[in-house]
Amino acid sequence: MKIAVVCADGIGDALILHTASAQLKERGFEVVTFTNHRFPKGWQGYSFADQKEVELLGGFDAIFLEHDNTPKARYIRATFPQVYSLFGAYVESKHGPLREGLDWVCDRNLTLLDNVMLAVERFFGGSPTKDNGLKVAPHLTYRRFPKRVVLHTTSGDVEKNWPEAKFRQLALLLEKGGFEPVFLGRLPTLDDVAELLYESGFFIGNDSGPGHLASCLGIPTLTLNAIRLWHPGWGPGLVVPPPKLLSRHWKTLLQPKKVWAQFQNLVKSFHKGDPP
């Protein structure tokens, strides 16, 4: 049976939906993953197609779709007969009636990764794991630089971005605490990003693709202002939640000292071996 896995646009989405790809491949399916992101060193053996090539989907027996409310997702769901849809949020007036045995509405008290695992189990049986097939190059050493903290100041949504000036204040607190902050700039490929992250001690950033990649590689992560659904779901991690009141002003209200304090909790938790 030939199945297409269609990811939403983000790096994190590609990492998470590759969990479905890996589990379906384990079950004997011929899998092609539709994504704009490539990890050629880590995912050799997978087949890829560009997101825009939706006309290719007619050649598949089934489609596993991350429904991201784009025209492309709506077109796929309306056009092809055997579409398993994963909804991050579902509104009947917007998406139409749920299809028994084909639709999964995410439990927003769980991570998206956990929801994907549950959806694969419901639709295809078996006992899925969090393995997405990403393998690390053998010349790399896990957390080779344990004091190095990668800071990532951007994301796909500017509203989710904590001000860079506050990240720089946080970097000073990290230095005073004996850590080595490094700002993640634009690296040539995702492989380069993965290599930097894998040999670093920790990651702090907004809800973004590099945070999910760090988590997937087992690097302890601290994520700012993310709801549970978008928490990185692999390695150890904590979140700095927004203030309970006036949350739309979280960028102003969230201070570097609070992030530093939660980072210290992450460090203690990681060294004790506590679950995230």
Q: What is the mean pLDDT of residues 50-54?
A: 66
Query: CB 27: neighbour CB atoms within 10 A?
Result: 15
- The amino acid at 16: I
Residue 276 has pLDDT above 50, yes or no: no
Please give the full DSSP string across the chain, using - where no structure is assigned: -EEEEE--SSHHHHHHHHHHHHHHHHTT-EEEEE-S---TTTSTT-EEE-TT-GGGGGG-SEEEEEE-SSHHHHHHHHH-SSEEEEESS--HHHH-SPPTTTEEE--TTS-HHHHHHHHHHHHH-S---S-------TT--TTSEEEEEEEE---S-GGGPPPHHHHHHHHHHHHHTT-EEEE----SSHHHHHHHHHTEEEEEEESSHHHHHHHHTT--EEEES--GGGS--SSSEEEEPPPSSSGGGHHHH--HHHHHHHHHHHHHHHHHT---
Q: What are phi and psi of 169, to 5 degrees?
A: -65, -40
Cβ partners under 8 Å of residue 226, min gap 6: 160, 206, 207, 239
Q: What is the mean pLDDT of residues 88-114?
A: 92
Cβ partners under 8 Å of residue 208, min gap 6: 11, 12, 152, 154, 155, 156, 160
Q: Are 223 and 231 in contact (CB under 8 A)?
A: yes
Q: Which residue ranges form the domains of the chain, and what is each CATH number? A: 2-124 (3.40.50.2000), 145-272 (3.40.50.2000)
Residue 198's pLDDT is: 95
Q: Are 149 and 181 in contact (CB under 8 A)?
A: yes
Q: Per residue in 234-259, pLDDT tens?
A: 989 999 876 665 577 888 889 999 99
Residue 138's pLDDT is: 87
Q: What is the mean pLDDT of residues 80-93?
A: 92
Residue 182's pLDDT is: 97
Residue 159's pLDDT is: 85
Q: Which of 128, 149, 154 is nearest to 221 (CA)?
A: 149
Residue 42 has pLDDT above 80, yes or no: no
Q: What is the mean pLDDT of residues 19-34?
A: 92
Q: Is the pTM of this model over 0.85?
A: yes
CA–chain centroid gap for 142, Å, is: 20
Tokens 């939640």 map to which residue? 241
Q: Are 40 and 57 in contact (CB under 8 A)?
A: no
Greater model confidence, 191 or 65: 65
**How far is Cα 90 from Cα 85, in angstroms, rounded to an integer?**
11
Residue 186 has pLDDT above 70, yes or no: yes
Residue 151's pLDDT is: 98
How large is the greatest C-alpha to C-alpha distance in the chain, in angstroms? Answer: 59
